[in-house]
Structure 1
Amino acid sequence: MPDSLRHTLRAKAHPARSVPCPHEPCHARPHQSCIVRVNGRTLAKPHASRISAWAQLIACCPECQTTPGTPCHDDGTPRSEVHERRIQDAKETCA
């Protein structure tokens, strides 16, 4: 099934679920919910690192002027998470 159709059918799911979760104990596969490995509980929202990875993949950052796929930076120093404005831009792109 094409990704565009899959996301249309899963309208209630967060679009960040389209990428694998980089959160260390979780590592959920694409299109699966993030979980807490200790107790197996499914999370309602994806981990922040998964949202960050998704935003980095699909959106340009208006704050540091990077292209999709390139990590955000602060004056040349790489950031572990993307800027909040990049996440907002990614949400607007998917809407």
Structure 2
Amino acid sequence: MPASIRHGFRARAHPARSVPCPHEPCHARAHQACIVRVNGRVLKKLHPARIAAWARITACCPECQVQPGIPCHDDGRARTDVHPRRIQEAKETLA
């Protein structure tokens, strides 16, 4: 199924589901919900690390002025997460 149609069917799902979850115990594949590996429970919300990974590849960061795909930084040190403004930018880019 083409990606444009697939995303249309998943319109209610968060756009960050299009990337695999980097959260250590989860590791859900793209287009699948995040889960708790211990008991197999499906989470209603995505892990914050997955949302950060989606924002990292989707949008430029207005805070530290980096391009998509490059991690955010604070005074030259790379961050493990992204700036909150980058997540906002990714949502605005999607709209």
> Shared topology, TM-score over 0.5?
yes
How big is each residue's C-alpha offset from its partner over 1:61-90, in whole Å with a ceiling of 9 and x where there is no partner?
Answer: 000000000000001010000000000111
Aligned residues: 95
Match of 2:76 in 1: 76
Structure-2 separation of matches of 1:67 and 1:35: 30
TM-score after normalising by structure 2 = 0.95
Deviations 1:10-62 (A, max 9, x none): 11101000000000000000000000111111111110000000000010000
Secondary structure of the corresponding residue to residue 31 of structure 2: coil
By how many angstroms is 1:3 displaced?
2.4
| Correspondence for 1:65 | 65
Partner of 1:17: 17
Equivalent in the alignment of 2:2: 2
Unaligned regions of 5+ residues in structure 1, if any? none
Partner residue, 2:88: 88
3-state SS of 1:89 partner: helix
The 2-side partners of 1:93 and 1:42 are apart by 28
TM-score, with structure 1 as normaliser: 0.95
Distance 1:54 1:45 in 2: 14
Look up the equivalent residue of 1:64 and give its one-letter code: C
Task: Give every structure 1 segment of 4 or more consecutive aligned residues whose post-TM-superposition deviation is greater than 3 Å.
Answer: none
